[in-house]
Structure formats: C-alpha cells, structure tokens
Amino acid sequence: MTTDKCTNVIEKCIDLKGSENCDDANMVDISISKDVLVIGAGSFGLEAAGKIAAQGYSVSVIGVKTACARQSGCSSEMLETGKVNIMQDVAIDSLAGVTGDFRAVLIKTAGNGTGCNETGCSEKVEKVFGAIVVAPQYSYSPLNKKYGLTLNDKVVSQSQFEAMLGDSESQKKILNSNNGNGSTVAFLTGFAQEGDPTLTSRVLTSALAVQNMENCNAYIYAGNVKVGAKGLERLFTQGRHAGVVCFKPSQMPTIEQTSTVEQDGNCDHKQVSETIKITIKDPVVRTDVELTPDYIVVEEALVVGQQNLDIASTLRIDADLYGFLPSNNVHRFPAKSNRDGIFVVNNSADAANTALKLKELIGNGIKKVAANKAKVDEDRCVICLTCYRSCPHGAIFWQNGAAAISQVACQGCGICASECPMDAIQIGDFTDDSLRTSIKDAVVSAKDNQKDGQPLIVAFCCKNSAFEACEAATQFGHEMPQGFRMVKVPCAGKVDVEFIMKAFVEGADGVMVAACHEGNCKAERGNIYAKWRVNEIQKRLEKMGLEKNRLIFTTIASNMAKEFAGKVNAFAAAIQ
C-alpha cells in the first residue's frame, strides 16, 4: 500500500518534471514505439519484463537460457498480462535507429549462440522497439587461488556449494560427513576482491541453509562485506540468531590444505585424506583461533563474458572499466546507459527503476521534445560520419544523404558540432554564431574592466561544472582578476579549435578550457576530447611562435568555487 503511494507520488513528480519549460512553439511530437525488448532472460530480465508489462507495454524477452526453464522468475502474474513474449534461443544480431524507434534484427540461435548450425543459418527478423533493456548474465570464476587453495570435493566454489545444497544426494553427504555427526562449513568471502551485495547475499543464504541442517555449523570469514541491499541486514541477523558464526579478521586467514596418503596393503589402493585448517588472530583475546572445517566454500568473481561485450558493441553502449554494463556516470540515472532508451538491469532495484523510467520515456506513445536541440544543415553535410562516430549518446544516424540527429536521444552536448568538418551542425542555445558573439562580448567587457598590468583571460566553462563553480566563486566573493570573463558552453567537448583561436584573435592574453573531472563528464567523453584539442592547439601555438602556456586545460567540479578562483588566479599570475 505504502509502496503504491510512493510510486504514485514519484509518477506525479515525473509528470510535473516532464512538463516544465514546455514552450509549445519549440516543441515537436515524436512517436515512440510502445514495444520494449529485453535482452537476457535471467531472473532480473524477467522481473524487469513483468514490471514493464504492468505499465501496459508489450515486452519481448530474448535469451539463450531463460530463467523460466528453472521455474524461477516467470511469475504467472507476468505471463497472464499477455504482454510478455518470451523468445527462447533468440539473440540480437544488429541494431539500427534511435530511442523510440530502434530497429533490431533478431536471430534464432540454434542453442550455440550463433545463428548457424550444420544445416545452415536461420532467418532473421527485424522488429521495431521503443526501448531496450539489457539484463546481463555474467558468469562466475572461483577465487580459490587467491587463498592458496586447490578445488576438490572438500574445497568448493560458492556456485558448486549452491548446487550441492540443491541436490539431495550431496545434502546427505554434508549431513553425514563425520560419521553422521553433521558438517562444519567455512565460507571465505571479501578477502580476494572488493565484493558486492549479491555475493554477500549468496554467502549469507548458503550459511543459513547449512546452519539449519541437523548438527551442521556454518562459519563465515569475511573481509570486505557489502550489505547495502534490501533484506541483507535481516538475512545476516537471521543467520546470527540461528547460530552462524561470523569472523571479520583484518587480514586474510591463514589456511593450510594438507593431504595425506595412507597406503593399505594393496599398492593400487590409496586412501587420500585431506585436512584443512583455518587460522585467524583474534584481536581482542590476542590468540589464534583455529578451525578445521569439513568444507570450505570460496568466493567467486563475476566475469564479463564475450557475449555481454558483444551485446554492448551491437547496441553501441559503453561498459565500465572492468567490462560491466553500463558505464558509470554520476550525472546519469543508474539503470540508464549512455544511449537514451537503452537501460541495463543488474538487480531488482534496477528492474523497478527501469520500468518507471520507461513510463517517462514512452508515456502514451507520443513524446514532446524540443525541436532545436541540434540541427543538421543538410546542404552542408557530406555524410563523412564524423558526428555519428563521435556522438557519445548514439543519437545520430543518416538518411536521405545527410546526417540526422534524433531530438529524443540528443543530449545537446555539442561534441558533434565541434567535430563536424563542415560546420553543418548547430546546437540549440549554443550555435556557432552565438558562441562567437559571446567570445567577442567577453573580450570587450574584460577590456573595459581590466586593471593595468592584469591579463585578459577568457575561460570556456562547461555548464555542468566550471560554470557553476565560477558563479559560486563570484557569489562567495573569491577574488579573481578584473579582466577575467567566462563563456558558457554545454560541454567542454563543444569548444572548437576555432573558438579558442578567436578568443586569442579578439585580444585575450590567456584562454582556459575548464571541463569536468575525468570520468565525470555528463557527455561521457567531452572532457577528454577537449583535452586532446587543447594539447593539439598548444602545439600549434608553439609553432606559431606563441607561448603555449597561454592556453590551459583544467578540470573542476561544480562545488569547487574556491579552487576555481585559485586556478584562475594562478593562470593569471603565470601569464602576466
């Protein structure tokens, strides 16, 4: 009930937010397909599908293995909506189009992940989707080596142990390990890697299951434990109440894995018995605490499979540093990818959030968007594809012999405009003409106020960081040179070579390009492009016989007012 209330409030907020600044004259209606594609039929993919179907949209779920087959994830509720179509052994072959109108080519996979088998290749079908949800299915790799352990029937990975718990024969083995006296099971987690809530949850669930078995005891040796997910604290408490013992030593426990070979009369018949001993130092009582468990369960690392990387490259979405989807961006809603209309679901919260965001995106199938976010001059465009290749949001395509920019997918960063060799792209509030005027005005106004001996500085400031920092610096009264002026840009990636040169030509003594910190660019790579460009212009300045330190690139965050003023003053001092 409360949840419903919350959802209503959130939906209302979304509606309100969507309606702000709706100057009808500059808005266009764009139709958005109400069909959604979910790639990945694991439990989270199916959970997302169910929630999206509940919003009234048709969902196609594709995947090689569906969680339905394992009787989990496919709720009857979801299937009864009649809006979820599960397509087993279907993969995505290629993707064209943009948000609202993605054209996906789907292919039957013959169970081997490709569209081909001995008898030939299966047929492909093209379908239109308004949005795409990826629910990646990662695989696991045991981290026994990091603990110096060899896997065998006593030292098992978390996945192997979960399989044992699900198998009645193996369960009996665990119960009868010590001549019918139950087993002691030790779990090792959080020493070999950073860990995450999903891994914590698996360990806690298994430990509780062991503890609930007759005469069995579970011990958890935890290094770094991540408990920031729904229900994890409760699961932990449940385990403690049931008698699960948890150790959190500051160092990885010392583990001895020794096997002894006992030979009976027959030479061919060897009996190998193994003992494992875990030792930790208790910091309170200052003695060693030893345990010789019957089983050791070692943690596993998530592994990004080639399949996930292939999906990412087909969809043209970025992965993070480790290959996981989506890439990190603090400005972006967590389940969103760098392309509008493509979401990534890694857990239940993502599934719920994606369903909400989809409602915001698709609505009733018509979306009002600003018509002038980015415009292509079709007469100038030579379809060199530079914009298509540099757009971080995958918002550009081409049709009728010219580049075209989706007004829904476009985020207005202007990277395409600054890269276009024909100046064929103009960005809504930041056209080339208006920026040239801003540069000129900045120099003129700086000249009027400039104090004798102080340099004239023009700073191109990203509106997401440096612009805010500069405004704050002014308001907080941090002193900056009188001859300092800023030019607001939608992203540092919009700063053209031409603009920087124009600032010098107009009379600036120094030019500063102030971008967001690395890894913090709203447009993913705008700051990197700006840095490359500045480096290149510095070389050119040197060749022209000018001092290259008259141009600097710097990064700043929006809350760094004092630091911003400091950087400007240092720059002024350096070029004075």
Partner 1 sequence: MIVAERKPFDEIRSMVSNYKKVLTVGCGTCVAVCLAGGSKEVETLNAELNLAFKKDGIEFGAETLQRQCDMEFLAELDNKVDQYDCLLSMACGAGIQFLAERFPNKPVFPAVNTSFIGVNLDVGWYEEKCRACGQCVLAMTGGVCPVTMCAKSLFNGPCGGTNKTSCEIHTDQPCAWFKIYERLSGQGRLDQIMKISPPNDWSNQKPRKVIQPGYEERVKAMNS
Binding site for partner 1 (CB under 8 A): 93-94, 105, 121, 124, 383, 385, 388-389, 398, 401, 497, 528, 532-533, 535-536, 539-540
Closest approach of partner 1 to the CB of residue 390, in Å: 9
Closest approach of partner 1 to the CB of residue 389, in Å: 8
CB closer to partner 1, 30 vs 425: 425
Contacts of 208 (CB under 8 A, 6+ apart): 218, 235, 238, 239, 242, 244
Closest approach of partner 1 to the CB of residue 110, in Å: 15
With helix as H, strand as E and coil as C, how does 562-573 read?
HHHHHHHHHHHH
CB closer to partner 1, 458 vs 534: 534
DSSP-assigned letter for residue 494: G
CA 392 from chain center: how many Å?
A: 14
Closest approach of partner 1 to the CB of residue 532, in Å: 5
CB closer to partner 1, 126 vs 233: 126
CB closer to partner 1, 121 vs 573: 121
Task: Check: CB of residue 417 under 8 Å from CB of residue 424.
Answer: no
User: 23 is written with which tokens?
Assistant: 């100057």
Closest approach of partner 1 to the CB of residue 85, in Å: 22
CB closer to partner 1, 297 vs 403: 403
User: 21 is written with which tokens?
Assistant: 């600044």
Task: Check: CB of residue 522 under 8 Å from CB of residue 516.
Answer: yes
CB closer to partner 1, 467 vs 529: 529
Closest approach of partner 1 to the CB of residue 536, in Å: 4
User: How far apart (Å, rounded) are the C-alpha atoms in residues 68 and 85?
Assistant: 12
Start-to-end CA distance of the chain, whole Å, equals 66
Closest approach of partner 1 to the CB of residue 318, in Å: 12
CA dihedral of residues 23, 102, 31, 329 (deg, nearest 10): -30
Closest approach of partner 1 to the CB of residue 535, in Å: 8
Orientation angle between helical segments 466-475 and 561-575, nearest 10 degrees = 90
Q: CA-CA distances (angstroms) from residue 571 to 4, 93, 114, 151, 495?
A: 54, 52, 57, 59, 19
Per the omega criterion (within 30 degrees of 0), is the bond before 283 cis? no
Q: Which of 427, 468, 497 is nearest to 557 (CA)?
A: 468
Q: Which of 343, 256, 250 is nearest to 292 (CA)?
A: 256
CB closer to partner 1, 96 vs 289: 96
Closest approach of partner 1 to the CB of residue 317, in Å: 16
CB closer to partner 1, 69 vs 96: 96
User: 114 is written with which tokens?
Assistant: 């490709």
With helix as H, strand as E and coil as C, how does 381-443 read?
CCCCCHHHHHCCCCCEEEECCEEEECCCCCCCCCHHHHHCCCCCEEECCECHHHHHHHHHHHH
CB closer to partner 1, 93 vs 378: 93
CB closer to partner 1, 225 vs 405: 405
Angle at 176 between CA 173 and CA 177, to 5 degrees: 80
What is the dihedral sign for C-alpha 479, 527, 21, 403?
Answer: positive
Closest approach of partner 1 to the CB of residue 395, in Å: 15
CB closer to partner 1, 113 vs 243: 113
Q: Which of 516, 511, 514 is nearest to 572 (CA)?
A: 511
Where in 8-121 does DSSP place strands (E)? 27-31, 35-39, 58-63, 84-88, 90-98, 101-108, 116-117, 120-121
CB closer to partner 1, 140 vs 398: 398
User: How far apart (Å, rounded) are the C-alpha atoms in residues 426 and 373?
Assistant: 8
